[in-house]
A and B are shown apart, each in its own frame.
Chain A
Amino acid sequence: MVVVSEPLPIELANATLVDAAGEPSTLAQVAGGKTTLVLFVRQFACAGCSEQVAALLPQLPALRVLDVGVVIVGCGTVDHARGFDERLGVTSRGVRVFTDPTLVAQRAAGLSRSRLGVFGPRGTLGLLRAMMNGHKNAWSGGDFYQQGGALLLSPSLRVLFYRPQRWLGDLVEIGDITDVVLAGRARENAAALDAAVEAPS
């Protein structure tokens, strides 16, 4: 179970993600060493996922300034992941794209698989909103019923933020994640001030 301010569960840390070149890595390898936002998209072809990426893009400069790595994880094939990147151009903006077609990472992250989340009233409205905002929808980019979510991990893989999505179009507010990082940096500054005052002058 993923819990904020606790270490990342071991099964999630060890989940295998495959990049667009087909190279496998564990989530711990992908996210360890620096603060990292792991954004799970439902799959690689849904309009809601494209809308979520569109909400991420304006936040990338702030995340870059704060030295936060950004990783997108979907659940289709490697070709789906490649097509997703070609459509949305995320890797050219410093975002890494991975897939876990086995859904082990999604299960370990506590992300639900829900028909109601796709075809229920909120999912249907979410799909319509995304399509009205110009996002294309296709049915084959991975598991169509898988829901996404977001995790913010510290360099030592402690969970700083966790937000599972409950239905298609239940967008994660990326600005909330940036706020968590900013608060962390502000506390680092405060600690540096304390250290400076304790240092001999």
Chain B
Amino acid sequence: MSPAFHVANVLFLLSYLVRDILWLRLLSVLAQLALLVGTVLTPGHPLDAMAWNTLFLIINVVRIYLLILERRPVKLTEHEAHLWELVFRSLTPRELKALLARGAFEKRAAGEIVVERGKHPSHVLLLEEGKVEVVMDGRTITELGPGSFVGEMSFLTGDPPRADVRTRDDCHFFAWPKETLARVLKDSPELRAHVQMAIGQDLVSKLRAV
């Protein structure tokens, strides 16, 4: 038997001893390479063994690539960091990135209606900068500042909005399409708990303000 087989098995042994999945896969790749060498050096070059081993090697290399991507440090942009500061302190930067990957930042000019009474909004908005006013029958009922959700009441209840929401200044929002946000929250119970808490805090403070 070729020494490469022994090297491969020692590497497999080491891979079984480590706890970290990345090291396990790295050692497995080395072991599979050694095994491949051993197979090539074997008289008759058993092709079936080489094919299986190559398949395992490819799977491991792809998984290693994904693991490295997952472990890269996450850098938040200025606006993302501001949202984290305002609303999502309980999320890790990676979780925040995952949540924000499903929507986009939007700018709205002063005086623009962002939620119209009686009309289901297509997005849930999170105000990052500026102020909006909640207007009913021509009367401003309350003002909302950075960190407030807009359109979340329709999102939660399915009812149409009872009031207009109009920007007072030039505003920066983060906007999630309603269906996309619902899907994200359904797929990730951890993220859902954080977002529910953020919306809950916002609802409670709005109720106090009104």
**Chain A residues close to B by CB (< 8 Å):** 55, 58-59, 61-62, 65-67, 173, 175, 178-179, 181-183, 185-190, 192-194, 196-197, 201
Within 8 A of A (CB), among B152-204: 152-153, 156-157, 159, 162-163, 185, 189-190, 192-193, 196-197, 199-201, 203-204
Is the beta-carbon distance between A182 and B203 smaller than 8 angstroms? yes
Kindly provide the distance from the CB of A163 to the nearest chain B CB, expressed in whole angstroms. 16
Residues of B within 8 A of A181 (CB): 200
Given A178-B196, A197-B137: A185 and B189 interface contact (C-beta under 8 Å): no
Is the beta-carbon distance between A175 and B204 smaller than 8 angstroms? no
Identity of the chain B residue whose Cβ is nearest the Cβ of A195 in the assembled complex: B210
Residues of B within 8 A of A185 (CB): 200, 203-204, 207
A45 vs B136: C-alpha distance in the bound complex, in angstroms?
A: 54
A201 vs B134: C-alpha distance in the bound complex, in angstroms?
A: 15
Quick one: which of A58, A187, A193, A194 has the most chain B CB within 10 A?
A193
Interface of B is mostly: helix
Given A65-B197, A175-B189: A189 and B90 interface contact (C-beta under 8 Å): no
Given A62-B193, A186-B153, A187-B159: A193 and B134 interface contact (C-beta under 8 Å): yes
Residues of B within 8 A of A66 (CB): 200, 203-204
Residues of A within 8 A of B196 (CB): 59, 62, 175, 178-179, 182
Answer yes or no: B19 CB below 8 A from chain A CBs: no
A187 vs B90: C-alpha distance in the bound complex, in angstroms?
A: 26
Is the beta-carbon distance between A62 and B190 smaller than 8 angstroms? no
A173 vs B193: C-alpha distance in the bound complex, in angstroms?
A: 11
Is the beta-carbon distance between A175 and B185 smaller than 8 angstroms? yes
Residues of B within 8 A of A62 (CB): 193, 196-197, 200
Residues of B within 8 A of A194 (CB): 136, 162
Interface of A is mostly: helix
Residues of A within 8 A of B203 (CB): 66, 182, 185-186, 189
Task: Write out, one digit per residue, whether chain B residues 131-145 have a CB within 8 A of any chain A CB (1) or not (0).
Answer: 000101101011000
Identity of the chain A residue whose Cβ is nearest the Cβ of B189 in the assembled complex: A175
Answer yes or no: B206 CB below 8 A from chain A CBs: yes
In the assembled complex, 7 residue pairs joining A and B whose CB atoms fall closer than 8 Å, in A order, are: A58-B189, A58-B190, A65-B197, A173-B189, A183-B157, A194-B162, A197-B139
Is the beta-carbon distance between B207 and A188 smaller than 8 angstroms? yes
18 more contacts with CB within 8 A, not counting A186-B153, A190-B157, are: A58-B189, A61-B193, A62-B197, A62-B200, A65-B197, A65-B204, A175-B185, A175-B193, A178-B200, A179-B156, A182-B203, A183-B156, A185-B204, A189-B207, A190-B159, A193-B134, A193-B142, A197-B141
Kindly provide the distance from the CB of B150 to the nearest chain A CB, expressed in whole angstroms. 12
- Candidates B142, B152, B190; contact of A186 at CB < 8 Å: B152
Kindly provide the distance from the CB of A53 to the nearest chain B CB, expressed in whole angstroms. 14
The 7 closest A-B pairs by CB, nearest first: A62-B197, A186-B153, A197-B136, A65-B200, A192-B210, A62-B196, A58-B193
A190 vs B172: C-alpha distance in the bound complex, in angstroms?
A: 24
Given A61-B90, A183-B156, A186-B153: A192 and B193 interface contact (C-beta under 8 Å): no
Within 8 A of A (CB), among B13-29: none
Residues of B within 8 A of A196 (CB): 136, 141-142, 210
A59 vs B196: C-alpha distance in the bound complex, in angstroms?
A: 9
Kindly provide the distance from the CB of A160 to the nearest chain B CB, expressed in whole angstroms. 13
Kindly provide the distance from the CB of A95 to the nearest chain B CB, expressed in whole angstroms. 15
A192 vs B163: C-alpha distance in the bound complex, in angstroms?
A: 12
- Candidates A59, A67, A183, A189; contact of B206 at CB < 8 Å: A189
Given A58-B189, A59-B193, A61-B193: A182 and B141 interface contact (C-beta under 8 Å): no
